[in-house]
Amino acid sequence: MATFSSARVLNYERVPIDAQDLVTSARIVIAGDLSDKSAGINTVVEPPFPEPHASLDHPYYPAPIVRAYDHALHATYAAERSFKLPSGVDPFLPRSAFTSEALAASVEFSGPRSALTDGNPTTFMHANTSIVDNPQLAWRAGSGREVVGCRLTYALKMTDGSLPFRVRVFAGTYFVQFGSPPVFYTITQEAELILDPSEEPREVIFVAPAASQDARQTMDPSWTAMRLMATGVGWEYFRVFDFWPLVINEPLVQDIARAQIRLPASNPRRVTVRGLLPPADRQHTITGWPGGTYTGRVARQTFRDGNTIIDFEQPGAPPGVPAELLEAERVRINRTREAIQTATYPLIVGAHRR
């Protein structure tokens, strides 16, 4: 931050308050835009509805998983915008947030429970082939944690490659009646995933949004548990190297949403100062300013003829360019951007794998 006297000020002028791009409510879409493969969210499955409903009668329209941040001025301006998750950002809690002790129960799986979260590709739990009941693993994510999907690293060898190996994943509130065998009671949203055979460990990341037209979606969105149940036949071995629930990292996503907020400047101004100021400064203080010392946030600096033109709070039109030309350019850019967005928006909220 530079501090200098008003004696260095050569010129002072106001800048129009620019309110063209306003965002007072930012909505971050966690799962809903499947064009961004880098986010690692690339599979959404179609849930089978319980009997007697047939899937064809009740097609799946997923409700996108969204986290929103509303600024206090949203009640005044009501300007909201939806954003994709920035590329490369993992919005979920890491594996270290889950311990194997949180695993509620397993049925017909052998091996150390720690294998599910240790990240070691040589340790795994494996389902027994000579079984009567479907092998199951169950997680309780912890109070206040909403489960939206799971990460699964598995190896699967089929004896009959023509048969599908289905894994049903249940997310919901979870209650276990311990006994032998344990009994699971769930209020759930179910999703079904077909796993491709792979003798090498293979990772699947999937998110299962609730069905937007399903009454269950409004019943209780706080799913805190995840259960995986294998229902396939004709398999030689099914090994699980990693399995833990996807829980949104709420503070991270809120920070991302908050960073998208754009508010109008209250009193933008442009000050021309003799000499050059540090380009990296984000704030300057002018002493001896009429009305008292002025400290302003720097939006842009222009260096010209040995002087510095500082735009405080908000960048103005480049010096010498009328503001209306700049506005016309912004309008043209926004219209072009909207035309491109309309043409390329992939309406694939829920790519189906069968």
Partner 1 sequence: MAWELTIWNPTGDSPRVFTDATTPNPLKAKPEIIVDAGGRTNSISLRVRNDILQAGPRDIIRWREWAIEPMTYQGQRLTFNGERLHFRVWDVRVGAGVIVSSPPITSPGSGPADRDADALDRISAVGLEHLLTERIVRTGPTIALDVATIAYNLCRDYAHPAIIVNQSNFPPTGYQLGVFYTPEKTLEAALNDLIATLPSGGRYHINADRGITFRGSP
d(C-alpha 21, C-alpha 333), whole Å: 12
- Alpha carbon of 125 to those of 16, 105, 153, 227: distances in Å? 65, 13, 11, 15
Q: Is 239 in the site for partner 1 (CB under 8 A)?
A: no
Binding residues for partner 1, rule CB under 8 A, total 46
Q: Is 61 in the site for partner 1 (CB under 8 A)?
A: yes
Q: Is 16 in the site for partner 1 (CB under 8 A)?
A: yes
d(C-alpha 24, C-alpha 210), whole Å: 27
d(C-alpha 147, C-alpha 44), whole Å: 14
Smallest separation, CB 267 to partner 1 (Å): 5
Q: Write out the binding residues for partner 1, residues 199-238 only, by CB under 8 A.
A: 212-213
Site string for partner 1, 67-106 (x = CB under 8 A): --------xxxxxxxx------------------------
In the bound state with partner 1, the residue whose beta carbon lies nearer, of 87 and 96, is: 87
Residue with tokens 């079984």: 131
In the bound state with partner 1, the residue whose beta carbon lies nearer, of 245 and 316, is: 316
Q: Is 257 in the site for partner 1 (CB under 8 A)?
A: no
Indicate the pairing of strand 9-14 with strand 269-274.
antiparallel
d(C-alpha 25, C-alpha 258), whole Å: 9
Q: How many CB atoms lie within 10 A of CB 270?
A: 21
Q: Is 267 in the site for partner 1 (CB under 8 A)?
A: yes
User: Residue 105: which region, alpha, beta or left (left: phi > 0; alpha: psi -120 to 50)?
Assistant: beta
Q: Is 34 in the site for partner 1 (CB under 8 A)?
A: no
In the bound state with partner 1, the residue whose beta carbon lies nearer, of 20 and 120, is: 20
Chain residues binding partner 1 by CB under 8 A are 13-20, 22-23, 27, 29, 32-33, 61, 63-64, 66, 75-82, 212-213, 264, 266-267, 270, 316-317, 322-324, 327, 331, 334, 338, 341-342, 345, 347, 349
